[in-house]
Amino acid sequence: MTSDAARPASGSPAPLLGATEIRRLADELDVRPTKTLGQNFVIDGNTIRRIVAAADLGPDEVVLEVGPGLGSLTLGLLDAAERVVAVEIDPKLAERLPRTIAEFRPERAGALDVVLSDAMRVTELPHAPTALVANLPYNVAVPVVLHLFEHFPTLRHGLVMVQDEVADRLAATPGSKIYGIPSVKSTWYADMRKAGIIGKNVFWPAPKINSGLVGFERHEPPATPASREQVFAAIDAAFAQRRKTLRAALAGWAGSAAAAETALRAAGVDPQARGEKLGIEEFAAIAAHHPDVVGAPAAGEGGA
């Protein structure tokens, strides 16, 4: 049987890493996927091609990839984009990745930057990324996405593969049972959509549940005098006690239930509603009427 990485005939797709190559590289590095780092390596070239196609990358784009692992997705991204900046936390994998690219895509070796770091700590990159495409570790997927949204405003669009349940939550809309903090906070930055399901058998090791693809398109945040931190504080408070009415749930956030009701009514929100019914625009309006925001001097006012 010919491996997925076998040199293709003329006109065939460029070689990608298959199960044989992935296991060879893992054996060479004495690497075994760990649950701690949420590592599940893609071993199916067609899945990589599907992800890259769904990401809809332009040839001039700089793609940010988080957790490239042994390079399965990296190769596919280098075929579609101008440059890939890969953030990898594992020193062995980070060191090996450039050599893997040089082996399978020698003509593209100069288009890869590898950053050895925890993605949750990265605030600067060697090139400004325009797209995020990544197979994210299940246990940190949501905080990583929110962190990258916050620190890299040049990210215009992207596609992330996460645990299917997490994908549903990121793409959930107001009123659904799974709508929650990840759903609302992500929409501060972008329109989120479920873009597909990936089966278990295309990974090594195979996870216990399917993965989901989530695509996003960046947009401007809601217009509000409140800061992002103030809006997110209102979201956190509303969902910390999601079964309570907003009047009760936001009492601590506003200083009292009465102050919460005042802010809610000023924002045009029913104090008896629950947070799971509201979108980001409503939370931005509520935060705009927090006592600290209402009482703050306008820009240019106040003493030195």
What are the pLDDT digits (tens) for 40-97? Answer: 899 999 999 999 999 999 999 999 999 999 999 999 999 999 999 999 999 999 999 9
- b/e burial code for range 43-75 (CB count within 10 A of at least 16 → b): bbbebbbbbbeebbbeeebbbbbbbbbbbbbbb
**Confidence at 34, pLDDT banded by 50, 70, 90:** low
CA dihedral of 208, 214, 220, 223, whole degrees rounded to 10? -50
Rounded distance between C-alpha atoms, residue 293 and residue 233, angstroms: 13
pLDDT at 249: 98
pLDDT digits (tens, 9 = 90+) for 168-227: 999 999 999 999 999 999 999 999 999 999 999 999 888 889 999 999 999 999 999 999
Rounded distance between C-alpha atoms, residue 36 and residue 70, angstroms: 17
**Higher pLDDT pick, 207 / 236:** 236
